[in-house]
């Protein structure tokens, strides 16, 4: 029997989703390989957040979603998380009156106690800056440190794929780099990342592949090594590419 290519970690096909009668996404196909960083770009209102919510089961959807060789098309958000697909939602806020440590414990709700202690330490190891403040109230952290905590909360469950929806929103360039550098370290550790980002150059510098979404459809898929990518992306944003 011929040996077929391994299945990608995430395989989305013919995905459609929206809000009530409003259809936002139609016919979306997307794949992510194990340990790959994929950027999802597109203008405001293109449907990037809607796509992440549909994949993680936070929104009703039709179409097919396979993850880790399993069909999760009808899985609940909880089942999706348990399968190893974790979504840090857009504008995620930490609990400012709780300590850094307690925010992480909360993110691991339901995990076995011993596993939880180990996995909280692992998540903190990604961000020495907030590890040093584990006993401090999250409200005393800077904006960038709170974003790091939000990403760390996603890591507590040891995801195989972490979906980050604009983790750098509202941060200064230096802090953006610090938050985004976590994605590169995650890839080194074998975790795949789907990154929604408004800062196109930074996203392209980090990612292995890119998708552009416009008006609810994927209008471009490319390796970030392609030389004419900025021009192609510009055409995709303005509706002249296929
Ligand atoms: N709760 C909602 N109810 C109705 N329509 C919504 C809702 N949330 C988003 N939409 C609409 O769905 C479309 C896609 O929105 P979405 O938030 O997915 O875009 P986005 O690409 O994430 O934009 P941004 O870059 O601004 O975050 C937009 O037209 C938006 O107005
Ligand atoms: Mg969004």
| CATH code of the domain covering residue 44 | 3.40.50.300
Residue 147 lies in a domain: no
Show the low-confidence residues of the chain (pLDDT under 70).
1-3, 240-242
For position 2, what pLDDT does the model report? 61
Residue 29 lies in a domain: yes
Computed from CA positions of residues 159, 124, 41, 17, in that sequence, does the dihedral angle turn out positive or negative?
positive
Instruction: Express each pLDDT in 182-235 by its tens digit.
Output: 889 899 889 999 999 989 999 999 999 999 999 999 999 999 999 899 889 988
For position 3, what pLDDT does the model report? 67
Residue 146 lies in a domain: no
Residue 211 lies in a domain: yes
Length of the chain: 242
- The radius of gyration of the chain from alpha carbons, rounded to an integer in Å, stands at 18
For position 95, what pLDDT does the model report? 95
Provide the 3-class DSSP secondary structure of residue 194.
strand
Task: For residue 66, give Cα distances in angstroms to 113, 121, 132.
Answer: 30, 30, 38
46 lines ligand 1 (CB under 6 A): yes
Expressed in angstroms and rounded, the spacing between residue 151 Cα and the centre of ligand 2 is 16
Chain-centre distance for alpha carbon 163 = 1
Residue 124 lies in a domain: no
E strands present in the chain: 10-19, 22-32, 37-41, 61-67, 70-71, 85-88, 161-165, 192-196, 209-214, 217-223
Residue 227 lies in a domain: yes
Residue 5 lies in a domain: no
Residue 73's domain comprises 10-91+161-237
Residue 106 lies in a domain: no
pTM: 0.93
Expressed in angstroms and rounded, the spacing between residue 102 Cα and the centre of ligand 1 is 31
For position 5, what pLDDT does the model report? 72
Cβ distance 96 to 109 under 8 Å? no
The residue to mutate among 46, 53, 213, having the most atoms of ligand 1 within 8 angstroms of its beta carbon, is 46
Number of domains observed in the structure of the chain: 1
216 lines ligand 1 (CB under 6 A): no
């Amino acid at each position: 029997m011929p040996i077929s290519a391994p299945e990608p970690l995430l395989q989305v096909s013919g995905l459609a989703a929206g809000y009530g009668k409003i259809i936002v996404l139609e016919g979306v196909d997307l794949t992510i390989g194990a340990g790959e960083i994929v950027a999802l770009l597109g203008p405001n209102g293109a449907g990037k957040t809607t796509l992440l919510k549909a994949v993680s089961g936070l929104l009703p959807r039709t179409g097919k979603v396979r993850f880790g060789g399993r069909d999760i098309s009808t899985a609940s958000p909880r089942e999706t998380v348990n399968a190893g697909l974790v979504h840090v939602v857009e504008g995620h806020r930490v609990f400012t009156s709780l300590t850094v440590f307690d925010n992480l414990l909360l993110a691991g709700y339901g995990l076995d106690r011993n596993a939880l202690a180990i996995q909280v330490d692992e998540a903190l190891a990604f961000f020495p800056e907030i590890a040093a403040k584990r006993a401090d109230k999250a409200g005393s952290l800077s904006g960038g440190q709170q974003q790091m905590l939000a990403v760390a909360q996603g890591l507590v469950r040891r995801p195989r794929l972490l979906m980050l929806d604009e983790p750098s929103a509202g941060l200064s360039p230096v802090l953006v780099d610090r938050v985004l550098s976590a994605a590169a370290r995650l890839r080194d550790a074998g975790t795949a990342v789907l990154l929604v980002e408004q800062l196109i150059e930074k996203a392209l510098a980090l990612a292995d592949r890119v998708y552009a979404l416009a008006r609810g459809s994927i209008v471009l898929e490319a390796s970030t090594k392609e030389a004419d990518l900025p021009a192609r992306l510009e055409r995709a944003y303005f509706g002249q590419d296929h």
